[in-house]
Amino acid sequence: MGEKSQKESVTLRVVLDTSIFVNPDSRFVFGKSPDEAFINFLKEIKGKNKLSFFMPPSVYRELLNFIEAPPTLKETVAIRKQPPSSYESGVPAIMVYELIEEIRSRINKGLRIAEKYSLKKLKEEGGIQKRNGEEIIKNLRQEYRTALREGIIDSKEDFDLILLAKDLGGILATSDKGLIKWASKLGISCVDSGELKEIILGH
Amino acid sequence: MGEKSQKESVTLRVVLDTSIFVNPDSRFVFGKSPDEAFINFLKEIKGKNKLSFFMPPSVYRELLNFIEAPPTLKETVAIRKQPPSSYESGVPAIMVYELIEEIRSRINKGLRIAEKYSLKKLKEEGGIQKRNGEEIIKNLRQEYRTALREGIIDSKEDFDLILLAKDLGGILATSDKGLIKWASKLGISCVDSGELKEIILGH
């Protein structure tokens, strides 16, 4: 215990989400494009021995989809690609309860949106002739996705990030609202790209 | 260990879902109405000392919504109302992964259904004038709910049942497809009302 906590006090473990390099609102801290943001980040962490960086392999693969010229393995060696070890171990049951409640309420919202865009409502509004079909579908999709996905864990990559941060006793660098919300339920601290940059500069 | 397994070998613990007494396809084994099914069940389990029956309080409250003349506390004492003790303890992370994947695919299905019922598609089918608005909404709701809810754990009552059966090392009596599917992921055996009746008769 003594040895472990001492070790942790000198090395801060940071789990990186793609949003840090990919989201337009977030990556500007490190660069204009995902490629530039990622390369600049790799430069800035060089020689920072008291920080260690991790990405679950699933999330690293996701990042590569956004990067046009992926850095070499040697260049990214400072980011350890590590899956969470806790597939078989436990997540507090309370988290699953909350996930189930959240899903239930989202599903209901989705139905309200579907109803809103269905023929009947639009007929009632008297807008059938005026409105463009393509635009309606576009609006429907946008509204539905926002209602059902924003602020929820909706991919195994998200859950990999949370579990890995939990395994490592580390912090999670992300600007994803859903991740921040669910990580906090497991007692994981989150930082955004601006805070991450401050942490790197301060080490 | 020896004592515990010996004890379990003489008493079978059965966690009861409302579907056993409420679902028309299931309750006929015990009675024509939920009231009749529940009362008959209580009669049949009298004196069965090698069987013990449990319901999470949340599920028992749910059952009472379907029962017009609730039995007295004394009559239902044979069913222990016990919440799961594992709110804070763990659920295998793999189960959460599967839940997240399931939700993701259901959400996508929901959007396809919303699109199908939206103005554009109905216009393409040329059926605007012919179709009745109320009927469209009814069909939309039915199709959406089936796609998003059937076969999924969508309530905390469902999760209470699964956790309690896991806590007790018991079996789960249910005819709910979602419960059966998710209980099996945690190694919990399920029986339907017919099998439950056989078990009661055999003890």
Q: What is the Cα–Cα distance from B194 to B23, expressed in whole angstroms? A: 13
Give me the total of CB pairs closer than 8 Å, taking one residue from chain A and one from chain B: 166
pLDDT band of A123, cuts 50, 70, 90? low
Do the Cβ atoms of A166 and A3 come closer than 8 Å?
Answer: no
Task: Report phi then psi at B107, rounded to 5.
Answer: -60, -40
Q: What is the Cα–Cα distance from A127 to A102, expressed in whole angstroms? A: 33
**pLDDT, mean over chain B:** 86
pLDDT band of B2, cuts 50, 70, 90? very low
Which of B98, B103, B163, B167 should we substitute to test contact with A (largest number of A Cβ atoms within 10 Å)? Answer: B103
Q: What is the Cα–Cα distance from A89 to A172, expressed in whole angstroms? A: 20
CB-CB under 8 Å, A93 with B88: yes
Measured between beta carbons, the chain B residues lying within 8 angstroms of A158 are 100
What does each C-alpha distance from A80 to A5, A57, A83, B139 come to in angstroms?
Answer: 21, 9, 10, 51
| Beta strands B190-191; B171-173: pairing state | parallel
Q: Does residue B128 have a pLDDT over 70?
A: no
Alpha-carbon torsion B112, B115, B116, B120, what sign? negative
The residue-averaged pLDDT of A73-94 equals 86
pLDDT band of A130, cuts 50, 70, 90? low
Q: Which of A88, A103, A144 lies nearest to residue B103, judging by beta carbons?
A: A103
Distance from CA of B161 to the nearest CA of A (A): 12
Measured between beta carbons, the chain A residues lying within 8 angstroms of B88 are 92-94
pLDDT value of residue B30: 95
The residue count for chain B: 203
Question: How many alpha carbons lie under 13 Å from residue B21 in its C-beta half-sphere?
Answer: 24
Which of B106, B119, B161 should we substitute to test contact with A (largest number of A Cβ atoms within 10 Å)? Answer: B119
**Burial group, residue B159, by CB count within 10 angstroms (0-12, 13-18, 19+):** buried
* Residue with the larger pLDDT of the pair B171 and B91: B171
CB-CB under 8 Å, B114 with A119: no
The residue-averaged pLDDT of A62-75 equals 92
User: What residue of A is the nearest CA neighbor of B119?
Assistant: A119
Read off the amino acid at residue B170.
Answer: G
CB-CB under 8 Å, B94 with A99: no
A92-117 burial string, b = 16+ CB within 10 Å, else e?
bbebbbebbebbbebbeebbebbbbb
pLDDT value of residue A124: 57
Which residue blocks in A45-192 are alpha helix, DSSP H?
Answer: 57-64, 93-117, 119-125, 133-149, 156-168, 177-185
Which of B97, B106, B118 should we substitute to test contact with A (largest number of A Cβ atoms within 10 Å)? Answer: B118
Q: What is the Cα–Cα distance from B100 to B96, expressed in whole angstroms? A: 6
Q: What is the Cα–Cα distance from B93 to A153, expressed in whole angstroms? A: 14
Domains in chain B, ordered, with CATH?
3-86+159-201 (3.40.50.1010), 93-149 (no CATH)
The residue-averaged pLDDT of B121-143 equals 67
CB-CB under 8 Å, A104 with B154: yes
pLDDT band of B179, cuts 50, 70, 90? very high
Q: Among A79-93, B102-116, B123-137, which stretch is predicted with the lowest mean pLDDT?
A: B123-137
Detail the DSSP E strand segments found in B74-191: 79-81, 90-92, 171-173, 190-191
Read off the amino acid at residue A68.
Answer: E
The residue-averaged pLDDT of A13-23 equals 96
Q: What is the pLDDT of residues B21-49, one digit of tens each?
A: 999 888 899 999 999 999 999 999 999 99
CB-CB under 8 Å, B148 with A107: yes
